[in-house]
Amino acid sequence: MSRAGCDTLLFDLDGTLTDTDALHIAAYRRILARDGRWLSAADYKARVMGATNAAIMGWMFPGLDEAEHAALADEKERLFRSMVGRLRPLPGLTALLEWAAGLALRTAVVTNAPRDNAELMLGGLGLATRFPVLVIGDELARGKPDPLPYATALERLGSTADRAFAFEDSCSGVRAAAAAGIETFGLLTGLDEPTLRAAGAAAVIDDFADPRLLAKLEAEFGSRPA
């Protein structure tokens, strides 16, 4: 697919704007501990990162019904929110968003996190008013890894896939963005480069100050974040 000029930046939330994996793992472990169970970091990366709550709870508790899964998911998310303290944006994020605003680029957050989580985290990062569009996977017919959340973000922004870049840290998220036809940067906050590439990432970066990203932005726009 040939690219038009980029005017749209789409961001995942957990692990992309800020690193919250340790808090999520701790919340899941508290619930699983009641049954003498444990969530390993490897299983978190393979089965939980970027997935919908329905998929996660179906895997963790296969013998329970949908209502019980929903109740457990709500409990886990309350635990997560109770653990959230001071959040730090990934390096380079603030400069990138200020630069994007100066160029009048369209921006959105596209996440499988519940709305309460997303709003809490964006507020804690000081970004509550930065993104005009917030797409919540659970509020759609299908969440990531389906491309629908990204297609929805593009529609709400009045943009198209060939005018967008996406930033994701999970296989589920990379697959969703890539399947929507968006050139996707994989963040190395949780997974390694081969894993992100295999999921469909066009490039991988350490964070938003990565020279590889800055060079790409300069080539695309003729400038880069300060």
Burial environment of residue 161 by CB neighbours within 10 A (0 to 12, 13 to 18, 19 or more): buried
Residue 9 in tokens: 């930046």
Residue 96: alpha-carbon gap to chain centroid:
16
- 86 three-state secondary structure: coil
Distance CA 174, CA 213 (A): 16
Residue 157 in tokens: 């922004």
Choose the catalytic residue: 12, 21, 146, 169: 12
Name residue 111's beta-bridge partners: 136
Please check whether residue 200 is in contact with residue 87, taking contact to mean a CB–CB distance below 8 angstroms: no
In which element (H, E) is residue 73 found? Answer: helix 66-83
Distance CA 50, CA 53 (A): 9
In the residue annotation, 12 being an active-site residue is answered as yes
Residues 6+ apart with CB under 8 A from 73: 53, 54, 56, 57
Choose the catalytic residue: 7, 14, 19, 21: 14
Q: Which residue, chain included where needed, has tokens 């709003």?
A: 119
Active site residues: 12, 14
